Amino acid sequence: MLIESKFYKNLKEYISILQSIFVIVGIFLALWHIFIVQKQVEIQTKALNESNKIASANYVLDLSKRLDAPKYDRILKAINDNDKNYPALRKSGGHFKNCVAFSFLCVK
C-alpha cells in the first residue's frame, strides 16, 4: 500500500511536470504561429498594393485609349488649344453640344 501511494505520488508529480512543459511549449508555438501569420499578412498586403497599382495603371491606359478615339479628336483639340479666349460649349458660343462634352467627361 505504501509503495502504491508513493508510486501514485511520483506519477502525479511527473504528470504535473509534463503538463507544465506542454503549457510552455504551447505558448511558444502560439507565439511562433502569430509571428508566421504576421509575416503572411505583410506579404499579402504588399501583393494587394502591387495589384491595385497594376489595376489603376490598366484603367488609365484603357481610359486613354478610349479618349484617343476619333470621335473625341475635335473636343480634345479644343480643350488642349483653349487659351480661355473662346467658349467650348455651343450654348456659350462654342462648337460643341453639351451631350458631346458630357459623353467625353463620362467615358465608360
Distance CA 75, CA 89 (A): 10
Claim to verify: residue 7 and residue 44 sit in the same structural domain: yes
Contacts of 60 (CB under 8 A, 6+ apart): none
Claim to verify: residue 47 and residue 85 sit in the same structural domain: no
Claim to verify: residue 58 and residue 106 sit in the same structural domain: no
Question: At residue 50, what are phi and psi to the nearest 5 degrees?
Answer: -65, -45
Claim to verify: residue 85 and residue 58 sit in the same structural domain: no
Q: What is the extent of the structural domain holding 87?
A: 69-108
Claim to verify: residue 41 and residue 74 sit in the same structural domain: no
Q: One digit per residue, pLDDT tens: the chain, 108 residues?
A: 556 677 777 888 899 999 999 999 999 999 999 999 999 999 999 999 999 999 999 988 888 887 777 777 777 677 666 666 656 565 555 656 656 555 655 554
Claim to verify: residue 76 and residue 60 sit in the same structural domain: no
Cell of 53: 497599382
Claim to verify: residue 8 and residue 31 sit in the same structural domain: yes
Cell of 102: 458630357
Other Cβ atoms within 10 Å of 12 Cβ, number: 10
Structural domain count, the chain: 2
